[in-house]
Structures are given as C-alpha cells and as structure tokens.
Amino acid sequence: DAGVIQSPRHEVTEMGQEVTLRCKPISGHDYLFWYRQTMMRGLELLIYFNNNVPIDDSGMPEDRFSAKMPNASFSTLKIQPSEPRDSAVYFCASSFGTGGQETQYFGPGTRLLVL
Amino acid sequence: GDSVTQMEGPVTLSEEAFLTINCTYTATGYPSLFWYVQYPGEGLQLLLKATKADDKGSNKGFEATYRKETTSFHLEKGSVQVSDSAVYFCALRTGANSKLTFGKGITLSVRP
C-alpha cells in the first residue's frame, strides 16, 4: 500500500489567502484524522471522521478552518482566510476499526507557511 | 480529562548509551498506551504499544511496560544508535474511542 498521501508537501501563501490541504487515507480505513503540529503547542487533533462523517471537531481552532470528507478516499482541510499563526505542519492519519488498540498511520505532512 | 506528560527535552546521548524517556498519564478507565516516533521530515509512526496493565511492548530494541500502579509507560533502549535520533511521542487511548491523546514529544539526538 502507498500509505497515507498528503498534498501539497509544502505550501507558502500570503495572509488572507485560502489554503486547501488534501489527504488520501489508506484504502479500507474507516477513520481519518487531521492534526496540527507546532513548536509551541505540540501535536493537536483538529478533527476526525468515521465513515466520512465528522465525529469530533472540538479541536478546530475557529471558523476559518473547515474540513470535509466527500468519500472514503479523500479529505480536505481548508483555511480561509489564512493567518501567519496558522503556520504549522498539518498531518493526516487514518486507521481501521474500533476497540482502542488500532494503529493510526500518519502521512508525511504538509508544511504550511503563511507570510 | 485524559492527559499525557513526558519528561522535558531535548535529550542528547552518545552512541551505545542507555536510554530512558519518562511518560506518565492520567485517564479515566483503562487506556491503551502507545509510543510513536517521528524521524526528521516524516510523519509519526507507531513504535510500540501495550493494551493492559503489566503488558510490555517492544520493537527495534525499544521496550516499555504498562505500569498501572504508577500510571507510567517509560520507554527504554539498552544501546542507542545514531539512527534513533528522532522525536518520541507517548500517547493513550481510552475505551473504544479512536481519539489519541499525545504528550508534547521529546527530541532525542544521538552522537556518534
């Protein structure tokens, strides 16, 4: 399997612009997670989906952030408008099943810089 | 709520030194415990896990034992290598909830 695929790997944009991050989970996985990693706050869970349905979005920082999962093989995280404090590495992860023991598989991340 | 506390870093060791990275947790119920590793420029990957008290997870020479009495899951390796240089995250999950709670991570640098 190709693993979790994220695009773009790097994104540089100017404040106020819209940013869209993309994720393709591992085929057959029914959970998808979006995380943000910064030096100050560490690794934060933003939102996760089960069978394409958002389950917990309590980590989404504000209304500027939105996430969708239109089908089992694709998800987007959108920031509109972007701000310099959104600069971070954004990770997508996927897993299969429930029970508490499942491994989450992470993508390589998208490094976002907002100028 | 659930939380994971890791020792402050960074940690710098010489090759073949003994490694201990401390991790303690607070959780409702009986969590499953995990160590993830992040190599430079990459995403996180599972290193090892333990799902019940006294279980020992092991992989690539790393070990961690689930200690319910001390609510700890310390990571150890008897002889580190330069290739072990990475960021290490302790994490937990409670019940059937798929959400992982991560510690802040600690950077390990191993000198030749």
Q: Give the DSSP per-residue string, A38-84.
A: ETTTEEEEEEEEETTEEEE-TT--STTEEEEEEETTEEEEEESS--G
Rounded to whole angstroms, the Cα distance separating B37 from B69 reads 25
Rounded average pLDDT over B23-52: 92
Report the pLDDT value the prediction gives residue A40, as an integer from 0 to 100: 85
Q: Which pLDDT score, from 0 to 100, does residue B10 have?
A: 94
Q: What is the mean pLDDT of residues A38-50?
A: 90
Query: Residue B110 pLDDT more than 80?
Result: yes
- If you average pLDDT over residues B48-55, what whole number do you get? 93
State whether the Cα torsion A85-B100-A74-A60 is positive or negative.
Answer: negative
CB B78 within 8 A of CB B96: no
Q: Report the C-alpha gap between B8 and B11 in whole angstroms.
A: 8
Distances (CA, A) of B21 to A4, A10, A80, B33, B59: 28, 31, 39, 14, 15
8 Å CB contact between A77 and A65: yes
Q: Do B43 and A107 touch (CB under 8 A)?
A: yes
Backbone angles phi, psi at A35, to 5 degrees: -125, 155
Assess whether the previous peptide bond of A61 is cis (omega < 30° from 0). no
Check whether A100 has a pLDDT greater than 80: no
Residue B16: pLDDT over 70: yes
Query: Positive or negative, the Cα torsion across A38, A40, A42, A46?
Result: negative
User: Across the interface, do B99 and A42 touch by the CB < 8 Å criterion?
Assistant: no
Q: Considering only CB atoms, which residues of chain A are within 8 Å of chain B? A: 4, 31, 33, 42-43, 45, 48, 50, 55-56, 91, 93, 95, 98-109
Residue A60, pLDDT > 80, answer yes
Contacts of B95 in chain A (CB under 8 A): 100
Q: How distant is the Cα of A114 from the closest Cα of chain B, in angstroms?
A: 19
pLDDT category, A97, cuts 50, 70, 90?
A: confident
Average pLDDT, chain A: 93
Q: How far is B14 from chain A (nearest CA, A)?
A: 25
With beta carbons under 8 A apart, name residues in chain A contacting B5.
Answer: none
pLDDT band for B2, please (50, 70, 90 cuts).
confident
pLDDT over threshold 90, residue A11: yes
Q: How large is the average pLDDT for residues B29-41? A: 91
Nearest-CA distance A98 → chain B (Å): 6
- Residues of A whose CB is below 8 A from B51: 100-101
Name which of B84, B78, B76 is nearest B7 in CA terms. Answer: B76
| CA torsion through residues B32, B89, B58, B75, sign | negative
pLDDT of A109 > 70? The answer is: yes
Q: Which pLDDT tens digit goes with each residue over A76-95?
A: 999 999 999 999 999 999 99
Least Cα distance to B67 among B90, B100, B37 occurs for: B90
pLDDT, residue B97, reads: 64
Chain A residue with CA closest to B33: the answer is A101
CA distances from B44 to A30, A80, B38, B84 (A): 19, 27, 4, 14
How many residues are recorded in chain B? 112
**pLDDT band of A1, cuts 50, 70, 90:** low
- In this model, does residue B96 exceed pLDDT 70? no
Q: Which residues contact B106 (CB under 8 A, 6 or more apart)?
A: B6, B7, B8, B9, B10, B11, B21, B87, B88
B42: nearest CB among A100, A103, A108:
A108
Mean confidence (pLDDT) of chain B: 93
**What are the pLDDT digits (tens) for B75-92?**
999 999 999 999 999 999
**8 Å CB contact of A101 and B103:** no
Tell me the average pLDDT across B98-102: 84
